[in-house]
Chain A
Amino acid sequence: VYTSVMGQALQRAAQWTSAKGGSGGKLEFTKLNEELLNSIIQYVDGFGAKYADESKLVFKKPLTWQTTVSPDAISAPGLEDRGGDKISEAKADKDQPLFSIKRDGSDNECSAMTMEYCEQVLRASGDKKMIEIRACLEANRDPVANMLGERFATVEGDDNSIFRFIEEITKEIEQLAKQHAENEGNTEKQEEIEEKKLVLKMRLILLRLDQQLLNQSIAQITKDVRLTPIMVDGEVTILQELSGDDERKHVLETIDFWGDGYIFKNGCRAPPQRQLHGDIAYIEVRPFDGNMLYITANTSGYYLNKGPDNRGDMNYEKEGDAYRELVTLLKDKSAHFTEMIDKQEFHLKVQEKDDYMDARRVEEDDDDRESTAGYRPDRSKQKAEEDSKDKGQKQKAQKKKKLEPSLKWKALGMEEYQEPDKRETQKLKKKKTSPRMKTKTPVDAEDSFSESSTESEEEEEAVERRSETNADLPSEYWQIQKLVKYLKGGNQTATIIALCSMRDFNLAQETCQLAIRDVGGLEVLINLLDTEEVKCKIGSLKILKEISRNTQIRRAIADLGGLQTMVKILRDPDKDLKCLAAETIANVAKFRRARRTVRQHGGIKKLVGLLDCPIVSATSPEADKDAEVARSGALALWSCSKSKKNKEAMRKAGAIPLLAKLLKSPNENMLIPVVGTLQECASEPSYRLAIRTEGMIEDLVKNLKSQSDELQMHCASAIFKCAEEKETRDLVRQYGGLDPLVSLLQKTENKELLAAATGAIWKCAISPENVTRFQELRAIEQLVGLLNDQPEEVLVNVVGGLGELAKDPPNRMLVRKAGGIPPLVNLLTGTNQALLVNVTRAVGQCAEEQDNMVIIDKLDGVRLLWSLLKNQNPDVQASAAWAICPCIENAKDAGEMVRSFVGGLELIVSLLKSDHREVLASVCAAIANIAKDEENLAVITDHGVVPMLARLTNTVDDKLRRHLAEAIARCCNWGNNRTAFGREGAVAPLVKYLKSQDENVHRSTARALYQLSKNPENCITMHEAGVVQPLMKMVGSQDEDLQEASAGCIGNIRRLALANEKARYS
């Protein structure tokens, strides 16, 4: 409690309730105060151990407060028990004990005169430390004055007391020394001085804490100056937790956001036109006392508004003052809230802090969320370590060899600086990726596939591939070393000669690349970029551009800060220089950290600026130059666009319209990087929308017919990603894009192109109109032809495409006629999750047709599907279960077939325990089909299907509801399952399904209710749950099935009622 010492901090920083709150005042229930109290507690804990003497210093006045600690809880040597109270033997003066704690009704009064005792009370309070500290501080507004005397009371303005005190002490010490010299030793005086020294020390200690707290609160306050959506959400959530209908326990009846609940990307809920005024959200609060309050959360604070009018439109006008904290506002408006909130306790947070920090750091960390599927953190970390070790040694060796300290030092310094950073991010990454890896769903894999083109060469794992044979270095090595010497030691002329000569070496060769690095050439080349000499810069960049094709060189360039310099060069008036810099950046930014560096130094904006070139049809050298600049800019952006944040930055910098303009260029060299960038960015919905609305689809389709495989591939890939959206699919068809896509299927040698084309076909086939066109183009036959001997990337898309196409019944026959079923069934034995999801879907579609089913059955396809239910991946499980449904429907002797799978029924019932909704829905659908066979129904009943289905009935997911109700309806047909469903409480929730919007849910639910109503108990439950009215409505439905089931159910209920009445009267 002593901690309260920090007079200034508490006085100013801590937020006290307004003085009108009466005597003493209270600490507001705010985050800031909680933080402050927490640091005080930490500080006080162990004060005695750190400052033994100081903790025994007797206060001028005791600190007295109401404590929750009972006297019995405190036991220390030197404490006397007096009728339940505890009083210390040591006394400050005649009747003032150093410590006392007295019983006083429910609260105890505690009074302490040394830090030592304060600490003891705090220790005794256990987990109520927070309350103790708070009580003590609230009772003693200026603890410093109590402890050290009024002279140290906290005053506004300059506080000189400590300086005066120091002077006083020094003077007295001098005096004493004088007296001592005069041999008049005065021990009393000396003691007094000792004590004063102690006081001074104590004061300094307290001052330090004071400062620490002030800093902390400043940090906090600066964060808080303006409200942000996150803060608003946070405050509302906290209050929501404290709200409820119990007046004695809860602070508010309800608190929630007003409006349709839509949250904008920036976190705001207010409509955009209001966001302009700084509005973040509107909050509606129902306090226990008084009317509904409507509060505007604005960036400037919280204030009341006039609430919604009759038509439900918000009247945004401000009423009354704005408050910094929501709590403060509510306190002003609701007495009950004030009363209750003061009773809320601050949460004592002890250890979570660390976790919290970590979590935050993870968030802050760059989330270049590239495909991390195959990423193995451990290995790469180890490698990074080896790497750095290796590098370190090399650096050392170099240093010995050459007397060029300045550059080397720089390099070393950089190295040291970078390493921990690297390792840290790696650690974080590890954390980040681990949960992802656990749930490595095929959707995920699919996503990452379409999200960013596979980065198999993700250089996070670049291997240090250096020949160990340092002994016989090639002659190039020595020659390059000599040239580097001239680079360093020569003037401009010599430098240029050296640069040009260096380019005579084969810079594409790894030996040369590494030689340049190993002799310290990179440092020099990068330093040259900082000079004024345009020629030197050009010469240097020409070399860097070449050698940065090497992954190790890229890292080295980034480590040496080369990216920063190159980003600066992008603003240079010299166009050649700009081009070279952008091209080099394009090479270097192939790994994550480099991309981040480019962004953080404003490179994205500058690169986007390069794209802005006038397109002139006439070819003049000047226009060619401009086009070249734009091309190199696009090239660099292409590399950079592999990071999510960079995509965002590019969009903000206005890249999209510029790319759209460049897309019109007739030049293939220009188009490849432009389309490459677009297809990379198309993983973001915002880009997909822009690509569609800026009319880029037309150009993409046009370029599908280009002569260049690479360009075709990027176009197809862009369409693949964009065709997730219906409008885009339609546009592709309207511009005649389907034909070239299908004709691309001929290019079977180029697997990348094939994968992109099949992917585009797959996605386009989602629209039925496109399916018709594909049919005309005989796409199915060609796709089936690709089912053999293709890499998995292609197969995934081919099979996905077939799955979509087979939704159209005539196509199912075409698949069969083309001989597609055996290879499809064959693929069911694979391991690639994304592929399995697509294959099961395709097989399921094919199984919709009887003739196909015969073949599938012959190939034992159902068994294979069934075994996929055991797959770890829930998406595969779900997809397999869906596929099983038509198989059972269309197979001959389905019941017999299902029974023949040993343990199959048990397996499928056990999947009802899954947490995955799609799995549950699909399994319910499969069970509904299985239950058509009575014998099988008996078996699954034995496996406990009834309670498991009943347990799921509380779901709100319409898809699951539909199939669940269907399964329940079918399962009723055995033994006493109807009664069992009633017993397990499945009936009442089913009645609620009738309120759903989904017609399909109604139909299956009515069927289930009809079945269940054959049991009188269930009828009663249903009736109580209010089933009759909605069922009546459904009797009037257009759907005969629904009509019939509803009527049957009502009939059963009615009959029961009649029988009842009859029984009563007879």
Chain B
Amino acid sequence: MLKQQCPNSPKIRMDRNKFNDFVHKNFEMTDEMIVDRVFRAFDEDNDGFINELEWVKGLSIFLRGTMEEKMKFCFDVYDMNADGYISREEMFHLLKNSILKPATEEDPDEGIKDLVEITLKKFDYDHDTRVSFDDWTKCVNEDNLLLEALGPCLPNLKTKNAFLELVSDAQHDTGMSISAQQKLKGKVTY
């Protein structure tokens, strides 16, 4: 699978652009910033490439992850500086495109700032003006809808199912390498 995506590279790995294309094509994820963050979440060793293991792990969360896995994944995506907290600034950054307002507003950022405040209020259980992973899990457990609160970073049900179908088709048709299959399956179960 991974090979198919990157036919020309000598090693079986995927670079940022390929990943971009991949998620765009399969999961309708277009927000570049978020996709970039998702790439980083996939790329555990931060070498700028997704190798075979990272790919399998990442996809497993992506497609079959448990709630905990997904929460962790999303938090990592949103926690840009990887300091274990989502700060107000990070939030602002993530949400800045989320309001489609006509330009009439005095301060276009005003609305977003407001929204950030609302979000922060919602998540910040311990009132330290930043969202810890604890805050995050508490809040999301309370309301699953908030899992992707700061921007869609997981495939939605429809594209997910479509992709899974594609994969199983591919397995039958082209004969995916057995090891990859096993790995994918193995991953799914743990």
Question: Chain A residues in contact with chain B, CB under 8 A?
Answer: 482-483, 485-486, 489-494, 496-501, 503-504, 534-535, 538-539, 574
Chain B residues positioned under 8 Å from A539 (CB to CB): 145
Distance A504 CA – B100 CA, assembled complex (angstroms) = 24
Picked from A483, A485, A494, A501, the residue with its CB within 8 Å of the CB of B95 is A494
Shortest distance in angstroms between A139's beta carbon and chain B's nearest beta carbon? 74
Cβ contacts under 8 Å, A486 to chain B: 99, 111, 115, 118
Complex interface: stretch among B5-13, B147-155, B181-189: B147-155
A504-B122 contact given A493-B149, A534-B157, A574-B157, CB 8 Å threshold = yes
Residue of A nearest to B97 (CB): A491
A574: B residues at CB distance < 8 A: 157
Whether the pair B145, A489 counts as a contact (CB closer than 8 A) is no
A538-B95 Cα distance, complex, nearest whole Å: 21
Q: Which residues of A contact B176 (CB under 8 A)?
A: none
Top 7 A-B residue pairs of the complex, sorted by shortest distance between their CB atoms: A494-B98, A493-B98, A491-B98, A493-B151, A490-B99, A489-B101, A497-B119
Q: Are A493 and B143 in contact (CB under 8 A)?
A: no
Across the interface, B118 reaches (CB within 8 A) one of A498, A534, A535, namely A498
Q: Which residue of chain A has the shortest Cβ distance to B34 in the bound complex?
A: A493
Q: How far is the CB of B127 from chain A (nearest CB, A)?
A: 15
Given A482-B114, A486-B115, A503-B143, A493:B95 Cβ within 8 A: yes
Contact B145 A493 (CB under 8 A): no
In angstroms, Cα B72 to Cα A593, docked, is: 48
Known A496-B146, A500-B122; 13 more pairs at CB < 8 Å = A482-B114, A485-B111, A493-B98, A493-B149, A494-B98, A497-B118, A498-B118, A500-B145, A500-B146, A500-B149, A503-B143, A535-B145, A539-B145
Report chain A residues within 8 Å CB of B150.
493
A491 with B145: CB separation less than 8 A? no
Which residues of B pack against A, CB within 8 Å? Answer: 95, 97-101, 111, 114-115, 118-119, 121-122, 143, 145-146, 148-152, 156-157
Find chain B residues with CB under 8 A from A535 CB.
145, 148
Query: Is B100's CB under 8 angstroms from A491's CB?
Result: yes
- 30 residue pairs of the A-B complex, CB under 8 angstroms, read A483-B118, A485-B111, A486-B111, A486-B118, A489-B100, A489-B101, A490-B99, A490-B115, A491-B98, A491-B99, A493-B98, A493-B150, A494-B95, A494-B98, A494-B115, A497-B119, A497-B122, A497-B146, A497-B149, A498-B115, A500-B143, A500-B146, A500-B149, A501-B118, A501-B122, A503-B143, A504-B122, A535-B145, A539-B145, A574-B157
Once the chains are docked, how many angstroms separate the CA of A489 from the CA of B103?
12
Q: Which residues of A contact B98 (CB under 8 A)?
A: 490-491, 493-494
Contact present for A490 and B100 (CB under 8 Å): yes
Q: What is the count of residue pairs linking A and B with beta-carbon distances less than 8 angstroms? A: 63
Q: Chain B nearest CB: distance from A546 CB in Å?
A: 13
Roughly how many angstroms separate A497 CA and B122 CA in the complex, as a whole number?
A: 9
Taken together as a complex, chains A and B put the C-alpha atoms of A180 and B109 apart, in Å, by: 80
* A489 with B99: CB separation less than 8 A: yes
User: CA of A491 to CA of B115 in the docked complex: distance in angstroms?
Assistant: 12
Report the separation of the CA atoms of residues A489 and B118 in the bound assembly, to the nearest whole angstrom: 15
Query: Complex formed: what's the CA distance from A539 to B150 in Å?
Result: 15
Q: Would you give the shortest CB distance from A492 to chain B, in whole angstroms?
A: 7
Q: How far is the CA of A841 from the CA of B115 in the complex (A)?
A: 70
Question: Complex Cα distance A492/B31, Å?
Answer: 12
Q: Which residues of A contact B149 (CB under 8 A)?
A: 493, 496-497, 500
Which residues of B are found within 8 Å of A534, using beta-carbon distances? 156-157
Measured between beta carbons, the chain A residues less than 8 angstroms from B101 are: 489
Of all chain B residues, the one with the shortest Cβ separation from A502 is B118
Q: Is the CB of A493 within 8 A of B122?
A: no
CB distance B152 to A492 under 8 Å? yes
Known A492-B152, A493-B151, A504-B122: A538·B145 in contact at CB below 8 Å: yes
| Nearest-CB residue, chain B, relative to A499 | B145
Q: Which residues of B contact A491 (CB under 8 A)?
A: 97-100
Q: Nearest chain-B residue to A483 (Cβ)?
A: B118
**Which residues of A have CB within 8 Å of B146?**
496-497, 500
A500-B145, A534-B157 known; A493 and B152 CB under 8 Å? yes
A489 to B98, CA, bound (A): 9
B88 to chain A, nearest CB (A): 14
B148 contacts A493, C-beta separation under 8 Å: yes
Q: Which residues of A contact B95 (CB under 8 A)?
A: 493-494
A496 to B152 Cα, complex, angstroms: 11
Contacts of A494 in B (CB 8 A): 95, 98-99, 115
Closest residue of chain B to A479, judged by CB?
Answer: B118
The residue of chain A having its C-beta at the shortest distance from the C-beta of B121 within the complex is A501
- Min Cβ gap A489→B in Å is 5
* Closest residue of B by beta carbon distance from A493: B98
A1007 to chain B, nearest CB (A): 83
Q: A457 to B119: give the CA distance in the assembly, Å.
A: 39
Q: Which residues of B contact A497 (CB under 8 A)?
A: 115, 118-119, 122, 146, 149
Identify the closest chain B residue to A542 (Cβ): B145
- Across-interface contacts of B115 in A (CB, < 8 A): 486, 490, 494, 497-498
- B151 neighbours in A (Cβ, 8 Å): 493
Q: Which residue of B lies closest to A496 (CB)?
A: B145
A-side contacts of B119, CB under 8 Å: 497, 501
Distance of A629 Cα from B145 Cα, bound (Å): 19
Considering the chains assembled together, what is the distance between the CA atoms of A500 and B100 in angstroms?
A: 19
**B157 adjacent to A489 (CB under 8 Å):** no
Q: How far is the CA of A703 from the CA of B104 in the complex (A)?
A: 63
Distance of A501 Cα from B116 Cα, bound (Å): 12
Taking CB atoms, residues of chain A closer than 8 Å to B148 are 493, 496, 535
Max chain B C-beta neighbours (<10 A), residue from A491, A494, A499, A574: A494
Q: How far is the CA of A462 from the CA of B39 in the complex (A)?
A: 56
B30 to chain A, nearest CB (A): 12
A370 to chain B, nearest CB (A): 38
Q: How far is the CB of B147 from chain A (nearest CB, A)?
A: 9
A493 to B148: give the CA distance in the assembly, Å: 8
Per the bound structure, the CA–CA distance linking A953 and B23 in Å amounts to: 93
For residue A500, which residues in chain B have a CB less than 8 angstroms away from its CB? Answer: 122, 143, 145-146, 149
Q: Which residue of A lies closest to B114 (CB)?
A: A482
Q: Tell me, rounded to whole Å, the shortest Cβ–Cβ distance linking B26 to chain A.
A: 17
C-alpha spacing A499/B145, complex, angstroms = 9
Q: Which residue of A lies closest to B104 (CB)?
A: A403
How far is it, in angstroms, between the C-alpha of A535 and the C-alpha of B150 when the chains are bound?
Answer: 13
CA distance A978 to B185 in the complex (A): 105
A residues less than 8 Å from B111 (CB atoms): 485-486, 489
Q: Closest residue of chain B to A538, judged by CB?
A: B145
Complex Cα distance, B115 from A486, in Å, reads 8
Cβ contacts under 8 Å, B157 to chain A: 534, 574
- For B145, what are the chain A residues with a Cβ–Cβ distance below 8 Å? 496, 499-500, 535, 538-539
A538 / chain B contacts, CB cutoff of 8 Å? 145
Q: Considering the chains assembled together, what is the distance between the CA atoms of A592 and B166 in angstroms? A: 49
Q: Give bound CA distance, A494 to B149, whole Å.
A: 8
> In the complex, what distance in Å separates the CA atom of A487 from the CA atom of B10?
48
Closest approach, in angstroms, between the C-beta of A534 and any C-beta of chain B? Answer: 6
Taken together as a complex, chains A and B put the C-alpha atoms of A492 and B121 apart, in Å, by 19
Distance A574 CA – B151 CA, assembled complex (angstroms): 22
Task: Please report the C-alpha to C-alpha distance between residue A628 and residue B97 in the assembled complex, in whole angstroms.
Answer: 38
Minimal Cβ-Cβ distance residue in A for B94: A493
> What is the distance, in angstroms, from A621's C-beta to the closest C-beta of chain B?
12
CA distance A492 to B154 in the complex (A): 14
